[in-house]
Amino acid sequence: MALLHGILDPLPLEIRNGMIAMGIFGLVSSVSTFGLLVFITYRMVFWRKYYDHSIASNQIFVLIYNLLLADFQQALSFIISFYWISQNKLEGPSNVCFLQGWLIQIGDVSSGIWVLAIAVHTLFNLVYQRTLRHRDFVIAVVLLWAFSLFLTVIGPILSHDDFFVPAGAWCWINEKHEAERLYLHYLWIFIAQLGSLVIYISIYFFLRSRIATSSRLRNATISSSPEDASGGPHKGTSTTTTTIMSTGHNSFAVSRNRIMRTARYMVVYPFAYVFLTLPLAFGRISSMAGKRPPLIFFLVSGTLMASCGIIDVLLYLSTRKALVRSSVGVRSLSRARTSEPTGLEARDQSLAHALEGLSNDGGCGAHPGPSVPSLSGTIMVSKSIVMRADSVERSESRQSLVAKTAEPA
């Protein structure tokens, strides 16, 4: 049985196999996150070729970009497993051990912080209809990275011994510093996990409630007709009816489906994050409580952590494609509307516009691709005046009287 904390020389077969798995997933995550970061950075620099406005002005897009940076650092830490395999030992303290411990610490903490930041931004953007000014947003991004760096550097600075040492199948915080493990790492991981889950689930049910309310009010508006207290039509009441004869989809149905699809996609991200990070955090906390899980548990948990990067990349690519396709169709239909929206329609449109900002990596006028189906149709606006017969007679009498008085003497 290999020691969980200390120099492993030579590497036990079980740990060696676990390092191979972690190294492979770490390599895949590193390559995928790095490739996506390069692609996004290129689009940021040469945005004029693809978008109407700089994509860096989209706040949710910038937050996802920073999450990928955190995933990249986390994935790099597990690539170091190949170095231990080549040496057939895991030893520390050493420069390589310190580097791996540093990357794991800042990668884990910063990824959790950025997941929570995306959740908070989404909450204020969709529910409260608010967003930060650009300068305040930039300051917030800098402060979040500064806080992540602080949680990583404060331990080695205050420690009077070796802070990053072998801890199972990789290097991390020395088990002598259980308090530092809790306050510098696990506390923030659990806050990010629980906070993002609560926020996204709340947003999901808020959108469901908003859509249900909008549907009921629309149905009530369509089925109602202008009547007076006696049950008859108002005298001289005019109503304007706007009919959208579309060969595609109903605009409200498209907007409703798109909002619910976006809500489901938003819930996927925190659940994926919790699924990949909770096992290792649970195992470490259990070890601190005196109930150490078997070694294979940590190896599997480490492999899940190493795959965070590739999972986030796949989620981003798959959800972005679907969201952009659905948002463009609604946008093309909304251009054809000629009347001012009502209060309810304005609320629905503000939600739709906010979701477009979340789903479109251009965020500010991205050009839709030619493969996106557009909505087409004819809008007919008619005005009808409903009057009673006696009202018409009085109106004709008044017109006759006016005509007589207007005649010259």
Task: Let me know how many helices (H) and strands (E) the chain has, helices first.
Answer: 12, 4
Average pLDDT of span 134-145: 95
- How far apart are alpha carbons 364 and 106 in whole angstroms? 32
Residue 394: Cβ within 10 Å count? 13
Least confident of 135-144, 172-181, 301-310, 395-404: 395-404
Highest mean pLDDT among 38-42, 262-266, 398-402: 38-42
Q: With bands split at pLDDT 50, 70 and 90, how would you rate the model's confidence at 327? A: very low
User: 393 with 357: CB under 8 angstroms?
Assistant: no
pLDDT in tens, 273-292: 888 988 888 887 888 777 88
pTM to 2 decimal places:
0.71
Maximum average pLDDT range among 51-65, 167-181, 196-210, 234-248:
167-181
Nearest to 105 by CA among 154, 57, 66: 154
- Is residue 99 within a helix (H) or strand (E), and if so which, with residue range? helix 95-126
Task: Select, from the ranges 40-44, 200-204, 220-224, the one with the highest average predicted confidence (pLDDT).
Answer: 40-44
Mean of per-residue pLDDT scores for the chain: 73
Q: Which of 207-211, 213-217, 380-384, 392-396 has the lowest mean pLDDT?
A: 380-384
Q: How far apart are CA 22 and CA 12, in angstroms?
A: 15
Spatial separation of the C-alpha atoms in residues 227 and 239, rounded to whole Å = 12
Range of weakest confidence among 17-21, 141-145, 154-158, 278-282 = 278-282
Which has the higher per-residue pLDDT, 167 or 216?
167
Which residues have C-beta within 8 Å of that of residue 210, sequence separation ≥ 6? 259, 347, 351
pLDDT reading at 147 higher than 90: yes
pLDDT tens for 71-105 read 999 999 999 999 999 999 898 788 999 999 999 99
Phi and psi, residue 298, nearest 5°: -70, -35
Smallest CA-to-CA distance from 298 within 9, 78, 69, 7 is with 78
* Domain 13-235+249-382 annotated CATH 1.20.1070.10: yes
Q: In this predicted model, what pLDDT tens digit does every residue of 341-361 receive, in sequence order?
A: 444 444 445 555 555 444 444
pLDDT band at residue 110 using 50, 70 and 90 as cut-offs: very high
Domain boundaries, the chain: 13-235+249-382
Percentage of residues of the chain with pLDDT beyond 70: 63
Mean pLDDT value across residues 298-314:
91
HSE toward the beta carbon, residue 330, CA cutoff 13 A: 23
- Is residue 185 very low, low, confident or very high in pLDDT (cuts 50, 70, 90)? very high
Is the separation of the CB atoms in 354 and 129 below 8 Å? yes
Kindly tell me the sign of the dihedral angle through the C-alpha atoms of 199, 205, 206, 207: positive
pLDDT at residue 363 in the model: 40
- Residue 218 has, within 13 A of its CA and on its CB side, a CA count of 16
